[in-house]
Structure 1
Amino acid sequence: MTYKIKKQREIIDRKKVFAELEAIANDPALKSFKRRTAVLNKLKSVLESGRAVIRARFEESNSGQDTVFSNSFLMDQIVRLIHDFATTFEYPLHNPTNEQRMSVVAVGGYGRGDMAPHSDVDILFLFPYKQTAHGEQVVEFILYMLWDLGLKVGHATRSVDDCLRMGKQDITIRTNLLESRFVWGDEETYHLFRTRFIEELVKGSGIEFIEKKLGERDERHTRMGDSRYVVEPNVKDGKGGLRDLHTLFWIGKYLYRVNSPMELVELKVLTRKEARGFLKAQNFLWAVRCWLHYLSDREEDRLTFDMQREIAERLGYTDHAGASGVERFMKHYYLMVKHVGNLTRIFCAALEESHQRRPLIRFPGKLFGTKEIDGFELRNDRLTVESLDVFKKDPIKILRLFLVAHQNGVGIHPETLRWVTQSLKYVDHKLQNDPDANEVFLEILTQRDSPDVALRKMNEAGVLGRFIPDFGRVVAQMQYDMYHTYTVDEHTIRAIGILNQIESGELAEDAPVATRIMGQVISRRVLYVAVLLHDIAKGRGGDHSELGAEVAEKLCPRLGLSPADTEAVAWLVKAHLWMSLTAFKRDLNDPSTIRAFADLVQSQERLRLLLCLTVADIRAVGPNVWNGWKATLLRELYYATDDMLSGGLNADSRDSRVANAQAALRDALKDWPEQDIEDFIERGYPSYWLSFDTDIHVHHAHLTHKARESGADITVDVRIDTEIDATEITVHCTDHPGLFSQIAGAMALCGANVVDAKILTLADGMALDTFFVQDTNGEAFNDSTKLERLRETLEKVISGQIRPSQEIERRQTKDNKHRTAVFKVEPNVIIDNKASRTHTVIEITARDRLGLLYDITRALRDLSMQIASARISTFGERAVDVFYVKDVFGLKIDSRTKFVQVKETLTQAIRND
């Protein structure tokens, strides 16, 4: 691509610099080594000042295009200066033979002329025949100069025949040669190579080249995560990134011998609008990549969280209502890479029309002749239409295209998808309010077999956001945190797919309750629409659940839902977080928790719908978010609430439930002496019997009996439960103030994350504290070496042999450099006396960090608070820890003064600055 650099001599004046190099060469006082040093210092100065000019221009304009081409221009001049100095002063040849001619050729990104600030300099030293001794000297001089300038140089020395032979064997080498560019030296040698390259390698091999490059692209996408919507995308190699644009450039250059997308317009391969879209996306991605290089001061192509915020500010993205500047920047980024995907599809469609030998994009199935299916043509196992006018005359066919393709298990021809994109203006207010069109859409949404596949194709083509404008507002909408892996639109489509997997039974092992009750759901259509709309109002500011319910109330009638179904969808959207918040943040053994949740849900049908929506929502957040522990909590909440809604839980009083638990223990310990059983039962207060099931009661009975028999002061018991992805740690020792804090400190030192805790004191004054812990991946803490270290550390910390505070503080200083430190989480302490009849509930939100639980529990100890239970949750960088507490007298906190003191003390403890 030819690009005119503005005010080139401000970057580097090659003739002036060479005159200065000539003066150095002719200085009799400078011998060989000193002369080379003087030349090198001059070139370093010139390179540094040229780079400074380019960066200053970039910081002022944010033009990625100007920057990458200016960097290539600067490098051209440096290479030319070194070459000319070598051939004029170091190894002069006045009448070189044919064999001694040499061409310096740029390849790779340097060959394309688009060098980012810290890109490699890839050079081919090209000879008409084999390399000569003189050529070797010149090449060595150039390379050592470039290396001494601190440049990363990729290089090869080859003859024309070598290039053609190796290019024929290796597609990567052929691609490098394809994008080669003459820099300096003997131009005739380069033109000889270029002519032979086209004639001997390129002609007649277009289909083979395209298939290999598209295959490389698919492998790269798989390696990089196969999604455009990863939270820390790779600007160069990620899906929709610069490498995808390079692939289109290579294919266009290989087939059409073009050097610019605009040349493809003249050949009618792309429209002018599409070519401009290519250049716009390329310039944006170049700008982002240049900032990555400048801010990292190295070749860095991953758009990490810290860089996202920094680059958003540099590119001028400011905070708006409902979206921060960094979220607006990333939305623009995702829209751009989505556009690159559209360009890829369009380009491949055009290529296929020009090269009918075989399809370039393959879909499952056999090759058929043309036939008609539901008003569409089926050609080569792909749906198509006669022309663009089909969609203009009957816009509902835009929607029906995706339905028919999905129902028949066939693809959509790329050219047809191109026409769909060009026909989006016909998806207007009239079509949006057409009952038949809405019926088609609902049929797509509620397909029994993978509706997410069809919806994703609609979203990629821009149809989904046009037909549901509220959905269009969340397309490419990201959330700047470490919890949400995908953009809102991608998360929503994945959630619909997961709901469908639950319904089909595919997730019966991971989500058995949701799978079973999905078959009992009466309002199937309500559930699918609710999943579609559950995050529809994100990015608007305010409570997205409340705002989303308002959207549902307006949209559902348009979709053809009855008033009753509309009300149900709106309620589900409003309530879609209630179940997870209750399960993960409240004590499920407290009847007040279940009663409050049952009052919110009100019916068993709503409970079934809410569980299915909650499971789909959480599983669609990202990899490793769903685990057995969360499944267990949701299952417990579901069964307890279902029991209460059916009248079961209310039927049993607190005393009768305690008696039933004790009777179950007696039945399970029939082989024990009766007195031993009664001794254990007498040690447990009523709250103990209501906090665990029979299995744990039996386990505790054996544990305490063994401890008494052995006379052990401290007993640490470990049970790994892979089904719930958690390890149960039980500590039995003499109770004393600050015990929870000590245990939390030991856990922090050993890398065990506490997710749940039950703190109990028996009637004999012994503590029986149960903790459920996980590793950093959200799985059971089950490494035998780490478990043994944890056991030893717990015993030493509880006995006072180790004081964890100093080591934790040392590690916290180091931890401030962790990725979570990028995010600002405003510390928050909520004190609630209504959530539980017997305890004050304290909910604490803070940035997650090493020793956070230790700091909180130490503060609660200093406040003389008794902790009865705790529920610990982490959402990316955000920790939400909930404690059920009483004061030193065993009462709720009811003093206004105490409220203020508790809040201030805990807020100070969780500050992360």
Structure 2
Amino acid sequence: MPPRDYAAARRRLLGGSARPGAPRRAELARLTDHWLAGLAGRLPPGVALAATGGYGRGELSPRSDLDLLLLHDGRTPPTGIAALADRIWYPVWDLGLALDHAVRTPAEARATAGEDLKVQLGLLDMRHLAGDTALTTALRTDALANWRAQAARRLPQLHELTRERAERHGELRFLLEPDLKEARGGLRDATALRAVAASWLADAPREGLEEARRTLLDVRDALQLATGRATDRLSLQDQDQVAADLALPDADALLQRVYEAARTLSYASEVTWREVGRVVRGRSGRQRLRGMLPGRRGATAAARQERAPLAEGVVEHAGEAALARSARPERDPVLPLRAAAAAARAGLPLTMATVHRLARTAPPLPVPWPAEAREEFVTLLGAGRAMVPVWEALDAAGLVTALLPGWERVRCRPQRNAVHLWTVDRHMVETAVRAAAFTRRVRRPDLLLVAALLHDIGKGRPGDHSEAGAGVARELATRIGFGPADVEVLGTLVRHHLLLVETATRRDLDDPATVRSVADAVGEFGALELLHALTEADALATGPAAWSNWRAALVGDLVKRVGAVLGGDTLPAEADGTDRDDHFLPAVEAERLALEAWRLDGPALALRLRPQPRRTPGAEPQTGAGGGAEEGTGAGEPAGARLVVALRDRPGVLPAVAGILALHRLTVRTAQLRHLPLPLEVTGLDPASAPPSQPPPSSPSSAPYGASVLLLSWHVAAEYGALPPAHRLRADLVRVLDGTLDVAARLAEREAAYRGPGRHGASAPPPRVTVADTGSRLATVLEVRAQDASGLLFRVGRALERAGVTVRSAYVSTLGANAVDAFYVTGPTGAPLPCADAADLARELERALGR
């Protein structure tokens, strides 16, 4: 075919004579094959023309380079090879087509491929065009064999190239003007995944991968036809035309389609490279073991990796979170959230097989969600940066949309604002990441985290996204299992998530009407506290231009003024903790248990372990202690057990019991501590020698009291497995109290073993301890906010004991991944601590928890 005929046929093809997309690319490749074969003519023996790279795959975009390799075995003289090359190259150049060409012998091609990874990748897609077929086939066979033989060495090199390219070109799915080829999640990554699959060392997840690659190729075709240039960058000025050519409604729809394809490729790349790393490390380990261990059986045993439990039904295996062998996701609707939360807290990715199995078999959660599901959800959100890859895995499998209907409206939705770094969905996730660092600042970190995730959920809906989002957030909050009061708070936060920064930067803060309008919109101080933290998290997640010291100062000033109008941060009227209802035991049973503890020989201790069934969704919630339904969660208590301990009041009781619970891997959900004075007639003490004690404020009795028994009520749940028998807990507690069991040492040993070499958990903000200014008339109230962890309550109790203060009462709650605890303490005289001493104690406790 003469060049002029080829050019005319090419113009007709690109002008609409073939269906766009893959059919047109394939037809253009066939047309070009025919023309180039005609240019080559009858090649001498031992000479062949081959296509490599994208052309080798039979995919030609309108402005693609022609990657050509002229192979010869050395029998044809150099002058003859040069003449053949000129016969092919010059007509291509004359038509203005881009040409990437090489002339090599098979030995030279193999040597160059060994030195240049890009050449090696091109040979993997080599396709014969003309001449000696055996020559092309032999070289391609050798290229594949060498690639597979050297995969353990070459694939890490390829991975490094992809990382460097991503650093230069960014993440395709978050760029307003993305490079469809070079950015992370682009066509280069699709080629890299093909190369990994060709190595036989690992394989990419196949679902949606080919469709994503075709989408990017289709968009590039339309871009190159619209611009008439060999470009891969989807510039803003070209997006409307490209969208129209692809029959899409607008440029936003175009970007959303591109972002979804890039997200699929990015996730596939992440999973694939993780698998490559695991396989390469495993091969290296086996090679080392062959030299160290005598015999195959010993090497296999030494190389076997243990499965460490992370949560009920979830284990760590080979550096990833996976389902335990005993897990039955088809019977456990909470398992997807439990697995995600456990993975994020441990800083581990979820295996692809685990995510797909959960998506395929786990039944939908009941509506409203059970309390356990809500807690796991909050724990996932509170894991900080480690939450992001876990969330991406859930979203890729469709689990996020199943959990939060309507999420698909914001997924991969672009934000045409240069201030924004992310798409709408990723911005919401990033806001939750930022909010996780502020959970020490608020009383309800669970509401902060959920509001952070949902604050832009109204984008993609008609009207003001804040107003639309407030209604959606209320629906989702009800679905998640929050009570009516919390649902309203979340709706208020989403409705007014821009209120503080917009008011602070656009209104006169000295005008009383400005402050009053904000106070009326927010309603109460708890919501103001949450809104302040949400405002900062939202701005930081937007980008560096959205937050500054100046804006922070203005918003802080506004919050201070609005807080004054609302009346400040208030605690219950009687804040010594003794007037709260005893929710864990009826009065008669509490007194009986106290008497039993008093009358026991030796270290007096009585223990009751009462398993609690899971609450039926929609059942009336019970009022809980400190941070449960009393604080407005509105969803009752999660499944677990009530553990009640009664023993004679003595130093070290609180850390002893907390340490035993930690040793037995019992997670403390809520806790109460209470002193129960006993009458002299019961204790048998001489009134003259009896220690001073006061009756409970609510007691009508006028009988003299002589000693007190300490009642501790714990709502606990097993981290995994069954609850330990009560007799084992009692036996271990007796050993701690008589000094034969060192709890601190045992916990330290287990923590060191859990961390292990190379184990990295999710980073958490530092603990925060404050003194509540209006906490109590009878005691000093210390508020502790820290990352929930096994042994935390033991460390707090031990630090308070060492400080020489008496814990009058304590209210402990766990909200997601955060412990939010209040300790009512008094000094040696039984009075509240002086202000300076209280501040010193808070700082010392903060230091002790931060070590």
Q: TM-score, normalised by structure 1?
A: 0.55
Distance in 2 between the 1:228 and 1:379 partners? Answer: 31
Deviation at 1:136, TM superposition (A): 0.8
- 2:443 aligned partner: 522
1:369 aligns with 2:306: yes
- 2:189 aligned partner: 244
Q: Deviations over 1:174-213 (max 9, x none)?
A: 11111111111222322232343344x2342233333333
Query: Equivalent of 1:492, from 382, 403, 428?
Result: 428
Query: Equivalent of 1:56, from 7, 10, 16?
Result: 16
- 2:156 aligned partner: 211
Distance in 1 between the 2:25 and 2:181 partners? Answer: 14
Task: Please tell me whether the aligned partners of residues 456 and 493 of structure 1 are also in contact (alpha carbons under 8 angstroms).
Answer: no
Distance in 2 between the 1:171 and 1:53 partners? Answer: 34
Distance in 2 between the 1:69 and 1:615 partners? Answer: 52
1:141 aligns with 2:87: yes
Please show how residues 329-344 of structure 1 align to structure 2 within 5 Å: 329-344=254-269
- 2:453 aligned partner: 532
Query: Equivalent of 2:407, from 471, 482, 487?
Result: 471
Please show how residues 131-530 of structure 1 align to structure 2 within 5 Å: 132-199=78-145, 201-226=146-171, 228-255=173-200, 275=206, 277-318=208-249, 325-344=250-269, 357-358=282-283, 368-374=305-311, 375-385=313-323, 390-423=328-361, 426=362, 428=364, 430=366, 433-447=369-383, 451-452=387-388, 454-503=390-439, 519=441, 521-530=442-451
Q: 1:569 to 1:404 in 2, by over 3 A?
A: same
Q: 1:117 to 1:44 in 2, by over 3 A?
A: same
Deviation at 1:245, TM superposition (A): 1.7
Q: 1:537 to 1:557 in 2, by over 3 A?
A: same
Q: 1:395 to 1:243 in 2, by over 3 A?
A: farther
Distance in 2 between the 1:596 and 1:397 partners? Answer: 44
Deviation at 1:310, TM superposition (A): 2.1
Distance in 2 between the 1:440 and 1:328 partners? Answer: 34
> Structure 2 counterpart of 1:118, which letter?
R
Distance in 2 between the 1:636 and 1:588 partners? Answer: 8
Distance in 1 between the 2:64 and 2:97 partners? Answer: 9
> Structure 2 counterpart of 1:250, which letter?
A
Q: 1:120 to 1:478 in 2, by over 3 A?
A: same
> Structure 2 counterpart of 1:475, which letter?
R
Q: 1:625 to 1:68 in 2, by over 3 A?
A: farther
Question: SS of 1:115's equivalent?
Answer: coil
Distance in 1 between the 2:228 and 2:385 partners? Answer: 49
Question: SS of 2:200's equivalent?
Answer: helix
Deviation at 1:124, TM superposition (A): 1.1
Deviation at 1:128, TM superposition (A): 0.9
> Structure 1 counterpart of 2:373, which letter?
A
Task: Please tell me whether the aligned partners of residues 474 and 489 of structure 1 are also in contact (alpha carbons under 8 angstroms).
Answer: yes
Question: SS of 1:126's equivalent?
Answer: strand
Q: 1:120 to 1:447 in 2, by over 3 A?
A: closer
Distance in 1 between the 2:162 and 2:367 partners? Answer: 37
Deviation at 1:411, TM superposition (A): 3.2
Task: Please tell me whether the aligned partners of residues 349 and 390 of structure 2 are also in contact (alpha carbons under 8 angstroms).
Answer: no
- 2:764 aligned partner: none
Deviation at 1:226, TM superposition (A): 3.8
Deviation at 1:596, TM superposition (A): 3.3
> Structure 1 counterpart of 2:306, which letter?
G
Query: Equivalent of 1:67, from 24, 39, 42?
Result: 24
Q: Deviations over 1:47-102 (max 9, x none)?
A: 143233233146xx4x3211222222222223222222xx6xxxxx8xx5x5xx32
> Structure 2 counterpart of 1:125, which letter?
L
Q: 1:298 to 1:349 in 2, by over 3 A?
A: same
Q: 1:460 to 1:255 in 2, by over 3 A?
A: same
1:82 aligns with 2:20: no
Distance in 1 between the 2:251 and 2:363 partners? Answer: 31
Please show how residues 621-636 of structure 1 align to structure 2 within 5 Å: 621-636=542-557
Question: SS of 2:248's equivalent?
Answer: coil
Distance in 2 between the 1:489 and 1:427 partners? Answer: 25
Task: Please tell me whether the aligned partners of residues 539 and 547 of structure 2 are also in contact (alpha carbons under 8 angstroms).
Answer: yes
Question: SS of 1:154's equivalent?
Answer: strand
- 1:746 aligned partner: none
> Structure 2 counterpart of 1:235, which letter?
L
Distance in 2 between the 1:536 and 1:447 partners? Answer: 21
Q: Deviations over 1:724-749 (max 9, x none)?
A: xxxxxxxxxxxxxxxxxxxxxxxxxx
Please show how residues 657-696 of structure 1 align to structure 2 within 5 Å: none
- 1:615 aligned partner: 536
Question: SS of 2:406's equivalent?
Answer: helix
Deviation at 1:540, TM superposition (A): 1.4
Deviation at 1:297, TM superposition (A): 0.8
- Higher fraction of helix: 1
Question: SS of 1:412's equivalent?
Answer: coil
> Structure 1 counterpart of 2:357, which letter?
W
> Structure 2 counterpart of 1:401, which letter?
A
Distance in 1 between the 2:365 and 2:564 partners? Answer: 47
Distance in 1 between the 2:172 and 2:137 partners? Answer: 41
Question: SS of 1:411's equivalent?
Answer: coil
Distance in 2 between the 1:417 and 1:276 partners? Answer: 13
- 1:548 aligned partner: 469
Task: Please tell me whether the aligned partners of residues 349 and 414 of structure 1 are also in contact (alpha carbons under 8 angstroms).
Answer: no
Q: In the comparison of the two structures, how many residue pairs are matched?
A: 549
Deviation at 1:219, TM superposition (A): 2.6
1:106 aligns with 2:66: no
Distance in 2 between the 1:621 and 1:349 partners? Answer: 29
Deviation at 1:593, TM superposition (A): 3.2
Question: SS of 1:125's equivalent?
Answer: strand
Distance in 2 between the 1:177 and 1:339 partners? Answer: 26
Task: Please tell me whether the aligned partners of residues 368 and 381 of structure 1 are also in contact (alpha carbons under 8 angstroms).
Answer: no
Gaps of 5+ in 1: 1-16, 18-41, 88-92, 257-263, 319-324, 361-365, 504-517, 648-913
Distance in 2 between the 1:523 and 1:255 partners? Answer: 50
Distance in 1 between the 2:326 and 2:7 partners? Answer: 53
Deviation at 1:244, TM superposition (A): 1.9
Q: 1:541 to 1:634 in 2, by over 3 A?
A: same
Percent identity for Structure 1 against Structure 2: 27
Distance in 2 between the 1:432 and 1:212 partners? Answer: 49
Distance in 2 between the 1:53 and 1:282 partners? Answer: 22
Distance in 2 between the 1:181 and 1:339 partners? Answer: 28
Question: SS of 2:504's equivalent?
Answer: helix
Question: SS of 1:237's equivalent?
Answer: coil
Task: Please tell me whether the aligned partners of residues 179 and 232 of structure 2 are also in contact (alpha carbons under 8 angstroms).
Answer: yes
Deviation at 1:481, TM superposition (A): 4.3
Q: Deviations over 1:419-462 (max 9, x none)?
A: 34544xx3525377344323321232234785455434433443
